[in-house]
């Protein structure tokens, strides 16, 4: 078989992140298109990207981040999943240098298009005595498993076909029976996996199984395809989730059997659910796509995921992507699992909305959520949208109240609709104020606001405070009545900034309607007393 890229010394950065051989860093994210991108997968992609585009490039090495689609398990394929994975990665800003859509020197990057390579490797292994054809039927394997269980043994293949005499093997072949190819795992000795994060892990070969490498449908299993491709694609460092640790000894042995040098390998710490265990749907959202629709910023999600296993120091928390690229080192990735905390993620999101991104940027990101709620017309998510100016003003006013972009419609609604949602007119009567006095106050405030320049917030406030004095009310009482009249709520950002953003026309209309509503309400109340 032919290697597509020249092999050269593999380990480029040692565990402390120091260059030990001047060789390009090539890493890959290798998802299977069986569903949406899970945040655990996103974290793996992120660490690979940071290692190649951050740590390696900072050291003057070429750092290449590759997307490889591992689609050889044909039964688990989900139509559209590959596009979904790519969209999610792109949304996160984890842009690959080589991959199925952009090509590259080691193409194709979809395993289903590389099957001949795996067949060739399987044949090489058989020829070298490192693998064998197995003709065992499903029924037989099932029977073996039941017997093992009955004897209290760990279930596993009993290596029946490994010892088949040549005549019997020839007979099976002549009969054209379906077969798989299994790895002839060494029966003695030990295998050491040198994990860059965890250090050496030693396995006794006698405990390892003769795993299937090639299935009867001619497709490779994960083990064969993964090893062959990492070699063919000249991967320098394997960085993957630690659920794959149990496969590492077999992969190590496969490299040796194929006569290839193994890339450096690191297993990234798992993300645990709050309270322990694997993070799954029942704890909350787990797919990147869901966080996107819930109004999380990709930068906030990346920042949070980076800190699930990596730290810069004991205190720094805010790492926008550029800063992650400047700061990330594999040496500071911990082997301990990290717990996913939804509240902490929300905190990060709020920080990004309120402090990290610009108001212009925020307005652009809020627009699709507002158009989705029917509050502004559909249009480009940038300054060319007809509502951009107004949404920008609202973003500046409300950014400290938004935890997610999806909160925007609720908070911005009363600024953008012609008619307020119905509210209880009783709210127009401040505490300790008689309804008739409240009515008079609202009328007077409506007149005063009509004559005020709302763009001058301070000036409007001075006027309204003077009016409250005149009416014998506390400023807070009058302000509450105006707030309810103009927003339909008892809470809003600063009243005068709110009035300014609502604009004089709507303020005038809403004050007039409030007066009418309170008058009708008063009549009803009086009527009820009669």
Phi, psi values for residue 464, rounded to 5°: -70, -30
What token pair was written down for 464? 């309204």
What token pair was written down for 388? 């951009």
Q: Does 31 bind ligand GLU (CB under 6 A)?
A: yes
Active-site residue, from 43, 278, 281, 431 = 281
Binding-site residue total for ligand GLU (CB under 6 A)?
A: 8
Task: Kindly tell me which of 53 and 267 has the beta carbon lying closer to ligand GLU.
Answer: 267
Rounded to a whole number of angstroms, the minimum distance from the CB of residue 316 to ligand GLU is 29
| C-alpha–C-alpha distance, residues 62 and 65, integer Å | 10
Q: Does 244 bind ligand GLU (CB under 6 A)?
A: yes
Q: Does 110 bind ligand GLU (CB under 6 A)?
A: no
Q: Does 299 bind ligand GLU (CB under 6 A)?
A: no
Three-class SS state of 273: coil
Q: Which of 13, 25, 27, 30 binds ligand GLU (CB under 6 A)?
A: 30
Q: If we measure between CA atoms, which residue out of 438, 423, 518 comes closest to residue 479?
A: 438
To 10 degrees, what angle do helices 81-92 and 39-49 make?
60
Q: Does 240 bind ligand GLU (CB under 6 A)?
A: yes
Task: Kindly tell me which of 55 and 70 has the beta carbon lying closer to ligand GLU.
Answer: 70
Q: Does 70 bind ligand GLU (CB under 6 A)?
A: yes
Residue written as token pair 């980076």:
306
Task: Kindly tell me which of 220 and 425 has the beta carbon lying closer to ligand GLU.
Answer: 220
- In this structure, how many other beta carbons lie within 10 angstroms of the beta carbon of residue 421? 9
Strands of the 264-268 sheet, one edge to the other: 199-204, 190-195, 264-268, 237-241
What token pair was written down for 282? 């029942």
Q: Does 249 bind ligand GLU (CB under 6 A)?
A: no
Task: Kindly tell me which of 12 and 44 has the beta carbon lying closer to ligand GLU.
Answer: 44
Q: Does 347 bind ligand GLU (CB under 6 A)?
A: no
Rounded to a whole number of angstroms, the minimum distance from the CB of residue 195 to ligand GLU is 13
How many contiguous H segments (helices) and E segments (strands) does the chain have? 20, 11
Residue 435 CB burial class (10 angstroms; 0-12, 13-18, ≥19): middle
Rounded to a whole number of angstroms, the minimum distance from the CB of residue 175 to ligand GLU is 34
Q: Which of 12, 221, 226, 286 binds ligand GLU (CB under 6 A)?
A: 226
β 199-204/212-214 pair status: unpaired
| C-alpha–C-alpha distance, residues 302 and 288, integer Å | 10
Rounded to a whole number of angstroms, the minimum distance from the CB of residue 222 to ligand GLU is 6
| C-alpha–C-alpha distance, residues 361 and 358, integer Å | 5
Task: Kindly tell me which of 30 and 228 has the beta carbon lying closer to ligand GLU.
Answer: 30
Q: Does 32 bind ligand GLU (CB under 6 A)?
A: yes
Task: Kindly tell me which of 70 and 232 has the beta carbon lying closer to ligand GLU.
Answer: 70
Report CA torsion sign: 271, 273, 278, 284.
negative
Question: Is 281 marked active-site?
Answer: yes
What token pair was written down for 155? 């279930």
CA-only gyration radius of the chain, Å? 33
Part in contact with ligand GLU (CB under 6 A); list of ranges 18-26, 29-37, 101-109, 402-410: 29-37
Q: Does 237 bind ligand GLU (CB under 6 A)?
A: no
Part in contact with ligand GLU (CB under 6 A); list of ranges 9-17, 24-32, 319-327, 501-509: 24-32
Q: Does 446 bind ligand GLU (CB under 6 A)?
A: no
Rounded to a whole number of angstroms, the minimum distance from the CB of residue 109 to ligand GLU is 13
β 190-195/199-204 pair status: antiparallel
Helix (H) or strand (E) holding 84: helix 81-92
Rounded to a whole number of angstroms, the minimum distance from the CB of residue 248 to ligand GLU is 9
Task: Kindly tell me which of 44 and 327 has the beta carbon lying closer to ligand GLU.
Answer: 44
Where do contacts with ligand GLU occur on this chain (CB under 6 A)?
30-32, 70, 222, 226, 240, 244
Which residue numbers are catalytic?
Answer: 281
């Amino acid at each position: 078989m032919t290697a597509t890229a020249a092999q050269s010394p593999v380990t480029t950065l040692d565990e402390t992140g120091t260059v030990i051989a001047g060789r390009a860093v090539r890493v890959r994210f290798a998802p299977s298109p069986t569903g949406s991108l899970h945040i655990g997968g996103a974290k793996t992609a992120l660490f690979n990207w940071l290692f190649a585009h951050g740590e390696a490039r900072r050291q003057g090495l070429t750092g290449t981040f590759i997307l490889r689609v591992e689609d050889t398990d044909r039964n688990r394929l989900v139509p559209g999943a590959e596009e979904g994975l790519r969209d999610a990665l792109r949304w996160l800003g984890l842009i690959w240098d080589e991959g199925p859509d952009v090509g590259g020197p080691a193409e194709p990057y979809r395993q289903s298009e590389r099957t001949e390579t795996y067949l060739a490797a399987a044949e090489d292994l058989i020829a070298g005595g490192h693998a064998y054809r197995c003709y065992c039927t499903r029924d037989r394997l099932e029977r073996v498993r039941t017997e093992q269980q009955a004897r209290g043994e760990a279930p596993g293949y009993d290596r029946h076909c490994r010892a088949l005499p040549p005549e019997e093997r020839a007979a099976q072949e002549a009969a054209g029976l379906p077969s798989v190819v299994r790895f002839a795992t060494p029966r003695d000795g030990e295998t050491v996996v040198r994990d860059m994060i965890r250090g050496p892990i030693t396995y006794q070969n006698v405990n390892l199984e003769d795993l299937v490498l090639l299935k009867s449908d001619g497709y490779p299993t994960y083990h064969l395809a993964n090893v062959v491709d990492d070699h063919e694609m000249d991967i320098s460092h394997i960085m993957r989730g630690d659920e794959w640790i149990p496969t590492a000894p077999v992969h190590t042995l496969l490299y040796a059997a194929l006569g290839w040098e193994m890339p450096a390998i690191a297993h990234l710490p798992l993300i645990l659910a709050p309270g322990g265990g694997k993070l799954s749907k029942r704890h909350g959202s787990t797919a990147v796509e869901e966080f996107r629709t819930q109004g999380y910023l990709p930068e906030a999600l990346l920042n949070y995921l980076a800190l699930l296993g990596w730290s810069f120091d004991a205190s720094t928390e805010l790492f926008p992507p550029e800063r992650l690229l400047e700061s990330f080192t594999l040496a500071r990735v911990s082997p301990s699992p990290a717990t996913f905390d939804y509240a902490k993620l929300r905190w990060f999101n709020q920080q990004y909305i309120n402090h990290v991104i610009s108001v212009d940027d925020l307005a652009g990101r809020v627009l699709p959520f507002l158009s989705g709620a029917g509050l502004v017309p559909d249009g480009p998510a940038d300054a060319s949208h007809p509502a951009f100016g107004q949404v920008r003003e609202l973003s500046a006013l409300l950014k400290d109240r938004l935890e997610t972009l999806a909160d925007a419609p609720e908070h911005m609604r009363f600024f953008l609709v012609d008619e307020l949602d119905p509210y209880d007119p009783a709210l127009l009567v401040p505490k300790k104020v008689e309804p008739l006095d409240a009515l008079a106050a609202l009328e007077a405030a409506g007149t005063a606001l009509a004559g005020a320049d709302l763009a001058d917030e301070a000036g409007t406030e001075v006027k309204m405070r003077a009016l409250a004095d005149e009416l014998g009310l506390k400023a807070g009482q009058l302000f509450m009545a105006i707030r309810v009249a103009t927003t339909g709520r008892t809470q809003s950002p600063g009243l005068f900034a709110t009035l300014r953003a609502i604009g004089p026309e709507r303020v005038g209309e809403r004050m007039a309607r409030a007066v009418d509503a309170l008058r009708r309400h008063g009549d009803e109340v009086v009527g009820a007393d009669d």
